[in-house]
Structure formats: C-alpha cells, structure tokens
Amino acid sequence: MDEFSYRDGALWCDQTPLREVAEQFGTPTYVYSASTLVDHYVRFAKAFESIDPLICFSAKALSNVHLLRLLGEQGAGIDTVSGGELHRALAAGVNTERIVLAGVGKSADELRDAVRRDIRCINVESEEEVALLARIAREEGRRPRLAIRVNPDIAPDLRTPARTTTAVRGVKFGVDIERAAALFSSAAADGSLRPEGIHVHIGSPIFDPQVYAMALERVLALVAEIEAAGHPVTTINLGGGFPAEYSAGSAPGWDDFAEAICPRLEGFVGRGGQVIFEPGRTIAANAGVLLAAVRYRKQAGERQLVVIDAGMTHIVRAAMYDSYHFMWPVTPGIEMVPPSRDQHSLDDLVTYDVVGPICESSDYLAKGRALPAMAAGDLIAIFGAGAYGMTMTSNYNSQLRPAEVLVEGDRARLIRRRETYEDLVALELLDDTPSAG
C-alpha cells in the first residue's frame, strides 16, 4: 500500500494535500512519501526474514541523498553502479559494510575509490576487470572483496522489456556461467584479492518468481563446483528486478517471491553464507508521484491532446519502454475520484493523448487515456514515478530538471531545488567565456 489517496475530491500524500505542494513548489515536481518508502522496505525485509539478507537498495532507481539516508536509517545498504552513486551513498551516511558496487564498465578510478573505501563487495563482470582490480589492489596495499557476476542464460518472463533483460547469452552483463568457476579460482590464486561470492541479476521487472528459482539452481550448482575446487563461497547476491504494481493487481507479492527463493537458500545461510538483494523499483516506485500542470488542450485530427509541463525529459519511461503510468487530476471533483488506479470506466470521461513540451514525436506520456475533462492550469499526478523517474531526467531541449519534495506526515520539505537557467550554463561559463548581457 502507499499513502497517496483521494479525500473529499482531492489527492493527498499522508496528511498533506498535493495541491498545496504544487502551489508552494511549482510543477513539475516529484513528491515522495517517507512513510511509504519505509513501509515498503520493512515489508520487503519481513518477507525474506528467514534468510536474513543484506538488502542493498538500488540507487539507480532513486538516488536522492535524503532518501538514501532515510532507507539507511532503517538498516538498508546501497547498491551502486558508478562512482557517482558510491559518492551519493557515502554522502547519505551509509556504512561501507553495506555498500556494493556493480557495473559492466567501471573505470580504474571508480575501482580504486571502492578499494580505498573497503566497501562490502565489488561485483566484477569480466576477466580483464579482475586483472585491473588486482593491479589496483596491489598498488593500494589492500585486499578488496569481490563477487563474480555471472550470466546464467535464463530468459525472463514475457512481460520483462527486452531493454531490461540482462541474463540471456550474448548480452553485455556478467561472465558466461561456464567460465565463472575458472575466473573465481584465478582470483583466489591472486593474493591481492578476496573472492567471496557469486552475483546474478536476471533483469527487471521479473513477474514470475520461478525465474528466480531457475537462476538459483544454476548459481547453486556453480557454487558447488567452486567449493569442490577448494574455494569457499560465502555470499550469493541475487540482485534485484522485483516488480512494482503500476496498475492494481499487476504484480505478485513479496511473499510469492520469498516462497520461491528462501527454501533454496536456507542450507547456504545455515552454514554461514550471506544473501544480498538489490531491490529498487519494488520499494520506490509507488512511493513517488510526479506533479504536473496542464498548459494547453488541442485537437489533432480525430484525437484530443492535453499538453502538460512534464515530458520525456522529466519522466522518460513511457517514451523509452512504452511503460504504463496511471495518471489522474489532483482535484477532479469528488464524483470523479477513481475507485482504483486502473483505467476508469465512467461514461463522462474524455479520451486524451497526454503529451509533453519536448520537440520529439516520442514525447507521449499516455495515448488514448480516459480522464476527466481537463483545462489549462489543472494539476495532474503521474503515479508510480518513484523509481527511474528523477534518476533518468535530462536537460534535453535545455529543459530544467524538476524539484523533489519529501512528505513526512503533514510536512512537505524540499530535498532538491528546481534547476535554474543559470544552472544550465554554469559548467559552460568558463573564465574566458563572456557572460550574458
């Protein structure tokens, strides 16, 4: 559940009306519910408590330092995939023992920083990366912990987008599973490294719990092969990929995934092994909405368009993945409040294409969407925007990145200010560049 609800004909977050948030901070603005974010993390951890995993929240899904700190205070670690995300995790005050670093193309500087910080684990993805990490470790006089990311060659379920499928043969991620045991042995023979685990991430979102079960069977067989060669494996990192409900009833619950995963790992945990998860969207997606305002209505052939002030530079998922986001006016009137976040069926709705201001024909947030009649100045909430919303924003068309606001009960506070035109050019105005005017 989340804390976004309609009361008396208007949308609230916890005890805060979102109309007032828009009036105070403008639009477009990302709004997050602190209680929802914490509740989702706690309930995810509860589902898997029998194997006591280290839950490293995926910073690529939602990376604001304030929100990483909030999760860190609940005991979460952070999954990072770049030096920048590692910097964010540290700025949020997360202990390095709860930080992991992944990424298929980590730079020498990123690896060196991770080695110096002695983070919990570096997930390596190629033989050449292992060699580079070993050289850096010798130069630094340290022995970093690492896990080999493997590609188990498992196709996800049919609802997983091709662009976020990461564990079929031939993709850029991980080491082919048949080469992993030899690479682990090679790393173990190098006295400058501490190989301790196997990492796998099979894509996102994964709707079928049995896909995790299949991946685990292959990982556990690999672990047995490595240990038979005399090298202990103390960590299994199953990555993330757990889905979020972008429409009601669209995803299995966390207990369904735990039922498929936990029994297969109890023996590993029972002999002292640690399990790591890297969830992102499943915790964050429904903890955030994007508030936007209508600028214009227009007719385009037989289609009715509503043009809002948020487009693909503010939330790119619809344009990039053809993803569905429920959306509804912030104050539609009490008789128009949706009974759920599914497509409404009232006869007096209008079918709109919802588009943004960006000069691209792909800048659609929804097509053929039934909504209450809207007019310029009306506010609209785009739901399920807490994951891969703000982190994927851009300045294309020199658009300003939006503000971010955190709601805690009846208090709304700014956790990232809206960009300004000065911000757009700040890195370009060098000493020899004349200023405007």
Give the number of other Cβ atoms within 10 Å of residue 280's Cβ. 26
> Is 321 flagged in the annotation as binding?
yes
> Is 278 flagged in the annotation as binding?
yes
> Is 241 flagged in the annotation as binding?
yes
Which helix (DSSP H) or strand (DSSP E) does residue 415 occupy?
strand 411-416
SS3 at position 45: helix
Q: How do 121-124 and 99-101 pair as beta strands? A: parallel
Under DSSP, the state recorded for 418 is: P
Six token digits for residue 228: 């038979």
> Is 32 flagged in the annotation as binding?
no
User: Is 13 considered catalytic here?
Assistant: no
> Is 317 flagged in the annotation as binding?
yes
DSSP per-residue string spanning 3-36: SEEEETTEEEETTEEHHHHHHHH-SSEEEEEHHH
Written as one letter, the residue type at 346 is L
Q: How do 194-199 and 16-17 pair as beta strands? A: unpaired
> Is 422 flagged in the annotation as binding?
no
Contact of 393 with 356, CB cutoff 8 Å: no
Under DSSP, the state recorded for 198 is: E
Determine which one of 13, 56, 262, 359 is catalytic. 359
> Is 280 flagged in the annotation as binding?
yes
Alpha-carbon torsion (17, 22, 25, 28), positive or negative: positive
* Cβ contacts of 303-306, under 8 Å, gap ≥ 24: 303/353, 304/350, 304/351, 304/352, 304/353, 305/352, 305/353, 305/354, 305/355, 306/352, 306/353, 306/354, 306/355, 306/371, 306/374
CA–CA gap between residue 299 and residue 322 (Å, rounded): 23
Binding site: residue ranges? 241, 278-281, 317, 321, 360, 388
Q: Binding site for substrate: what residues are annotated?
A: 281, 317, 321, 360, 388
Catalytic residues: 359
Binding residues for pyridoxal 5'-phosphate: 241, 278-281, 388
